[in-house]
Amino acid sequence: MQLFHTLRELRAFLDSQTGKSVGFVPTMGNLHAGHCELVSQAKSRAGIVVVSIFVNPLQFGANEDFGSYPRTLQADCEQLRAVGADVVFAPAVEEMYPDFNGQDLRQQIIVQPPPMADVLCGASRPGHFAGVATVVTKLFHMVKPDFAVFGKKDYQQLMVIRTLVRQLNFGIEIVGVDTRREVSGLAMSSRNGYLTAEQKTQAAQLYAQLQQVRVALENGRRDYEALCKQAVLALQQEGWQVDYVEIRAQQDLSTPSASQTELVVLAAAKLGNTRLIDNCEVNL
């Protein structure tokens, strides 16, 4: 497995691998089994698998955890080697953002996503998805993959990236992979490491509430607002600070009509100081 920190090294290697298809898995590191599943999926269909590890400052808000986000490159590389990754690209901030002066990223060109980025997580994290769209655009230009693999846990992110690729004519296939979960149902996440043992047990309540909404929908309920309010109240009674529980259309995250059959239930909530997100697709 090759480890590169500069675009020049990365491109020199990839240019030498003529005729091989390239699969790409972008990450922020601090990897877990869910990330490894994405790499395994890419490995099953590509000649070369590139994994990026970059904690992107553009997608963190002023009071978020950019400074404390775990940087675990050596441990990440060991996991990636075990699942067959061919290349790890771990650039510095200055490599990703050439005009960065060490303090200020405001002079960067920003890729502005469509209004679907302004709802759900985008409503409480202004600028987050612009940061995601910008770094993913740059990484796609750097790696030039045939396809890229993303987890469905970050469902809104996946939809934003699908739209980005379609509207900017990248010609890259975007592969969405089902969320890897703990035995309890808790979605695997790098931020789970912030939870205490007690909180980690309690955190399974988030997915359990989404499952209750799914069952209600499958049983014919279409009072979307009431269903979401019930889930919010149930979580609040268990001590959660709920950002949202919403039922949306899968394809564009719009508010669905009662006749739509492809839905997704999405939630974001804080347990203690840790913000968790999850979702559940519903196909009626």
For CA atoms 203, 205, 209, 214, the dihedral sign is positive
* Amino acid 102: pLDDT: 65
Angle between helices 128-143 and 155-167 (to 10 degrees): 60
* The model's pTM: 0.94
What residue has token string 């209004």? 115
- pLDDT tens digits, residue range 273-283? 999 999 999 99
Q: Looking at 5, 32, 35, 141, which residue is catalytic? A: 35
Across 81-98, average pLDDT: 96
- pLDDT tens digits, residue range 160-211? 999 999 999 999 999 999 999 999 999 999 999 999 999 999 999 999 999 9
Across 106-124, average pLDDT: 92
* Amino acid 24: pLDDT: 98
For the chain, domains (ranges, CATH) are: 2-177 (3.40.50.620), 190-283 (3.30.1300.10)
* Amino acid 126: pLDDT: 93
DSSP symbols for 246-265 = EEEETTT-PPPPTT--EEEE
Active site residue 141: no
- pLDDT tens digits, residue range 137-158? 999 999 999 999 999 999 999 9
Look at residues 104, 111, 117, 157 and name the one whose alpha carbon lies nearest to residue 135: 111
User: Which residues are 265's β-sheet partners?
Assistant: 247, 280
Across 232-255, average pLDDT: 97
* Amino acid 62: pLDDT: 83
Half-sphere exposure of 275 (CA within 13 A, CB side): 13
CA distances from 44 to 40, 56, 91, 162 (A): 6, 28, 26, 21
Distance (Å, rounded) from C-alpha 115 to C-alpha 8? 35
Percent of the chain's residues with pLDDT above 90: 92
Across 41-46, average pLDDT: 97
* Amino acid 55: pLDDT: 96
Q: Which two tokens stand for residue 56?
A: 């992107």
* Amino acid 100: pLDDT: 79
Look at residues 125, 147, 139, 163 and name the one whose alpha carbon lies nearest to residue 56: 139
Across 52-76, average pLDDT: 92
Residue-averaged pLDDT of the chain: 95
User: Which residues are 249's β-sheet partners?
Assistant: 263
* Amino acid 103: pLDDT: 65
* Amino acid 108: pLDDT: 82
Across 119-144, average pLDDT: 96
CA distances from 59 to 24, 101, 128, 131, 225 (A): 20, 18, 4, 4, 30
